[in-house]
Structure 1
């Protein structure tokens, strides 16, 4: 799941994958997926690819226990790939919920065509 990719031009890039699973109740409020967390007691079993098949360790792919992660508010800087500085990890402020846009019924404004 971790590998160094050699580009055709000769440069190298370290790559990795994060296994995800359906979120537990804590994380589901934020997102429907969460990373798989292997309990330290299961590390040897998880890493034993010589004697165990993937089906033998599939039971380790389960949501983390409740309260394992701490959810903290962050700024919208985390939503932009170009932002890579440490400031994206700073605690953000929880602002008011954005107002929901009220949709007009079709035909309410004849100056705009609708598809539906």
Structure 2
């Protein structure tokens, strides 16, 4: 699964990196959070958690209010703030989103909640990398459960990850006018696949990360054939990522800042398995 990631880039940087034509991150959007989001949406967030609004790249038609609408241009690549945790259009309320932060690549084309979005509403979720928790095979916590050590996983080449995502629109029947921005909640989920060798020593799942040459087809609303989408869901070969243990502070969604990406000092590691070698690197019993 993918339950936390680092969205540490500014919108201006994402616009350039992902060749975005329209930046909508400054527009008001509906949030499901009770309290104001911290850090604010659209600013660097080193501990992105479900239910937060996050920058997402997608391809959509222009609105009539857009300057270029009169030119008759087709769908354009946009950067928007979407809520993490997909709420299907048929859902009775938004609570279902907390159970749909991830979608399995092997079942996404058949699952009722994801199948339509998988064919027509795909997106990219920019991330510096993601966090995953490893259950220790040798050390337990105070409750007798395996001690969980967070790791940060990033691309070896230092570029941002483009996590494969799906998005959906949900209409709130309690809001009278569909023209009211608060009548709509736009949400997304991150597609996951089997973890590659090495990373599977941390967790058995990982996000599906798309390389730049796959972005255009993944984002294209014209690619709707199930076989074509299934081909896009196949992960690239192993060796693109590196992983290292980080502070357990990331386990609290109140923790934030670039310090979360720093490697954890050896004295903080207990019963941790090296993802590359499989050896216990500290606290062996």
Post-superposition shift, 1:61?
Answer: 1.6
Counterpart for residue 89 of structure 1: 261
8 Å contact from structure 1 (residues 21, 34) kept in 2: yes
1:6 aligns with 2:178: no
Return the TM-score normalized by structure 2: 0.29
Task: Identify unmatched segments of 5+ residues in structure 2.
Answer: 1-24, 42-52, 54-80, 85-188, 272-282
Counterpart for residue 111 of structure 1: none
Aligned in 2, Cα 1:27/1:99: closer, same or farther, shift over 3 Å? Answer: closer
> In structure 2, what is the Cα distance between the partners aligned to 1:78 and 1:54?
40
8 Å contact from structure 1 (residues 23, 63) kept in 2: no
Asked which structure has the greater CA Rg, the reply is 1
Higher relative contact order (CA 8 A, sep 6+): 2
For the aligned residues, what is the CA RMSD?
Answer: 3.0
> In structure 2, what is the Cα distance between the partners aligned to 1:34 and 1:69?
11
> In structure 2, what is the Cα distance between the partners aligned to 1:89 and 1:54?
39
**Larger fraction in strand:** 2
Counterpart for residue 113 of structure 1: none
Counterpart for residue 239 of structure 2: 67
Aligned in 2, Cα 1:43/1:57: closer, same or farther, shift over 3 Å? Answer: same
1:43 aligns with 2:215: yes
Counterpart for residue 28 of structure 1: 200
Post-superposition shift, 1:63?
Answer: 3.3
8 Å contact from structure 1 (residues 24, 64) kept in 2: no
Post-superposition shift, 1:99?
Answer: 6.9
Post-superposition shift, 1:71?
Answer: 0.6
Task: Identify unmatched segments of 5+ residues in structure 1.
Answer: 101-116
How many pairs align? Answer: 96
Aligned in 2, Cα 1:92/1:64: closer, same or farther, shift over 3 Å? Answer: farther
8 Å contact from structure 1 (residues 34, 63) kept in 2: no
